[in-house]
Amino acid sequence: MITGTFAIHRMCTEEQAERVVEFFFSPYSFDDTRYTPGEEEQLRSLPYRALYGQVILWYATNENNEIIGASCVAENDQKTGGYSWDYVVVHREYRRWGIAASLFEQLLDYLRQASARYLMTYTCSLPEYKTIRRLFERNGFQLIGQCPDYYFEGEDRLIYWRRIS
């Protein structure tokens, strides 16, 4: 039964990482499941990389402790306060509950505590990604670039940026 209750957690065990990977590849997660080989590899490794402090990953659970959302951030290679936000995904049956917004708030709290300067994120230009683009724009991100045919032919990468401090 879906009642509107969810909780946000930070990734800290292998069992949680395994469950998040299963969620990523479930039919309830991403709208576009034509993953590039690199995306598939990244989705399988990100939760485990969180266990070693290479990324920070939060996930949402419902009252039955089922994974219903996840989001991830990592400091950029320069280590100067710039961060990259990868993958915010919410279970299809739980969308419009504020889960993505709650995951983003956790991420922002973390970035403020870390004295982050900015946050970059990316998405695809296809219509299936319209909702995530709106989420970025509602939360103060600016579209700063576009890389043609990045994912596949005809699928551009859109680059978004937001100042944190």
Mean pLDDT, range 137-157, rounded to an integer: 97
**pLDDT number for residue 3:** 54
Alpha helices in the chain (DSSP H): 14-24, 37-51, 99-113, 130-138
pTM (predicted TM-score): 0.92
Summarised one tens digit per residue, pLDDT across range 55-89 is: 999 999 999 999 999 999 999 999 999 999 999 99
Q: How far, in whole angstroms, is CA 71 from its chain's centroid?
A: 3
> Measured between alpha carbons, how far is 91 from 163 in angstroms, rounded to an integer?
28
Which domains can be identified in the chain, with CATH numbers? 7-122 (3.40.630.30)
